[in-house]
Chain A
Amino acid sequence: GENVEQHPSTLSVQEGDSAVIKCTYSDSASNYFPWYKQELGKRPQLIIDIRSNVGEKKDQRIAVTLNKTAKHFSLHITETQPEDSAVYFCGQGDSSYKLIFGSGTRLLVRP
C-alpha cells in the first residue's frame, strides 16, 4: 500500500552546514516525489519536486535525488541559513495524482 517513511524527525545544523532528509516509499507505482516546507502557522509550500524518470534535480541551494531501485529519495540543502528553519515534508504520488506525505522533519539552523 501507500506509505512513505521520513527520517530524521528532527535535525539541528550549524548555519552554513548541509542538511539531508531522507524518505523511503513502498509503492512501485509511485512516480512523483515533491518536497514541501512549512513554517509555523503557514501553509505547506512546494520547494522542489522530482519525477521518476529523473535521478537528480537541483535548484540553487536545494537538490533532490531519487533512487528508484532502492525506493528512496532525499532532500539536500547546502549552505543552510536560519530562514531554512521549518518543517519539511516529503510526498509520494502516483497516477491518481493524490499525494501521501511523510511524517515530517523539523529542521533547526543555528546561527
Chain B
Amino acid sequence: SAVISQKPSRDICQRGTSLTIQCQVDSQVTMMFWYRQQPGQSLTLIATANQGSEATYESGFVIDKFPISRPNLTFSTLTVSNMSPEDSSIYLCSGRYNEQFFGPGTRLTVL
C-alpha cells in the first residue's frame, strides 16, 4: 500500500490570505484526489488532480478558490485562496492505484 504524507499538518491563517497544502505519495499512483472534511462530517470530494493538466472540480468547488497542481505522478498541491472562516476544515489528499489511500490531513483554522 502507498504511504501519503501532507504538509503542513495544521495551520492557523488570517482571513484573506492563502495556504498551499502539499501532498507526497511514496509510489506512483494513477489518481490523486483532494477532499474536505468538516468536524464530525463526511468526506467531500473537492477535485481530481490530473497530472499535467487542469484539475477536475466537483460541483460547488472552483479553480479560482482551490487551485490544484499535479506536476508528476507522486506530488500534488492544493491552495485555499482568499480564505474565510468558512474554509476552516480538514483537507485530505488521497491517492489511488488499486485501492484508495488517504493522507493524514491538514487541519486549517481561519480567523
Residues of A bordering B, CB below 8 Å: 34, 42-46, 49, 89, 91, 96-104
Contact = CB atoms under 8 A, between A and B. Distances in A.
In this complex, the member of B42, B44, B102, B104 whose beta carbon has the largest number of chain A beta carbons within 10 angstroms is B42
Contact of B42 (A46, A97, A101): A101
A101 B43 contact: yes
Interface of B: 30-31, 33, 41-45, 48, 92, 96, 99-105
B99 A49 contact: yes
19 contacts: A34-B100, A43-B104, A44-B92, A44-B102, A46-B100, A89-B42, A89-B43, A96-B48, A97-B30, A97-B31, A98-B31, A98-B33, A98-B48, A100-B45, A101-B42, A101-B44, A103-B41, A104-B41, A104-B42
B42 A98 contact: no
A43 B103 contact: yes
Which interface residue of A42, A43, A97 has the most chain B CB atoms within 10 A? A43
B45 A46 contact: no
A34 B104 contact: no
Contacts of B103: 43
Contacts of B45: 98-100
A101 to B, nearest CB: 5
Contacts of A101: 42-44
